Chain A
């Protein structure tokens, strides 16, 4: 069974750094793109970017380019999302999800990580 388990909720101050994670199990982690989706409070889903664990090939939405870093460590089946300097506007739920092996829709989702940033 495919499982994506995300790290726990975070409460941070503006300007602080943060790294959240998503650990996959039950499938060939290196062989499937994995991505991140943001959902701000009361708002819709936003496609942030995806990474291929096999070779770290990366596709990032221009809306998020330079705002956040997406990385992966295939040795521990874990994808990460990192900020160097958080803003209050980064407050959101962040989901990781795997893509279908030949198409770009999200098949399996993590439970989400709530990030709250106070100013």
Chain B
């Protein structure tokens, strides 16, 4: 299976901060990577697919970049609604897999 390792596991930040979450794959996944946001008690929500394409309706402060084995999710200026857990997912080779998650907390 392809392993996805996210860092950091927990991130403390303040409103207005720029934050970056990294997702590293154990082998190349080209650009077949998605990012999801999950809030407590809710289903995950798709934010970005194909590494850098923003899902319709997702605010432009979210962006994704990277290819092959290293990817980043950036939030340019944190808003209160952004405090949540973020997951990456590869969809190159079965079984598709998720990273372990990054919890974004209010500092």
Chain A contact residues, CB within 8 Å of chain B: 37, 44-47, 49-50, 59-63, 95, 97, 100, 103-107, 109-112
Interface residues in B64-107 (C-beta closer than 8 Å to A): 85, 87, 89, 91-92, 94-101
**Shortest distance in angstroms between B6's beta carbon and chain A's nearest beta carbon?**
9
| Contact B43 A111, beta carbon cutoff 8 Å | yes
- Chain B interface size range: 20 to 34
CB-CB < 8 A to B1: which residues of A?
61-63
Interface residues of B, Cβ cutoff 8 Å to A: 1, 32, 34, 36, 38, 43-46, 49-50, 85, 87, 89, 91-92, 94-101
Partner of B43 from A47, A61, A62, A110 at Cβ < 8 Å: A110
B43, B87, B91: which contacts A44 (Cβ < 8 A)? Answer: B87
* B49 with A105: CB separation less than 8 A: yes
B95, A95: Cβ atoms under 8 Å? no
Are A59 and B94 in contact, CB atoms less than 8 angstroms apart? yes
Query: Most chain-B CB neighbours within 10 Å: which of A45, A95, A103, A110?
Result: A45
List residues of chain B with CB within 8 A of the CB of A104. 32, 91-92, 96
For the complex of A and B, list the 8 residue pairs with the smallest distance between their C-beta atoms, beginning with the closest.
Answer: A104-B91, A61-B95, A105-B34, A109-B43, A44-B101, A45-B98, A105-B49, A47-B96
Given A44-B101, A110-B43, decide whether A59 and B87 contact each other with a Cβ distance below 8 A.
no
In the complex, what's the smallest C-beta–C-beta distance from A6 to chain B, in angstroms? 9
B44/A109 in contact, CB under 8 A: yes
CB distance from A61 to the nearest CB of B (A): 4
| A105 engages B101 (CB within 8 Å) | no
| CB contact under 8 A between A109 and B32, given known A45-B87, A46-B98, A103-B50 | no
Instruction: Given A44-B87, A47-B89, A62-B1, verify A105-B46 contact (CB < 8 Å).
Output: yes
* Residue ID in chain B nearest A65 by CB atoms: B95
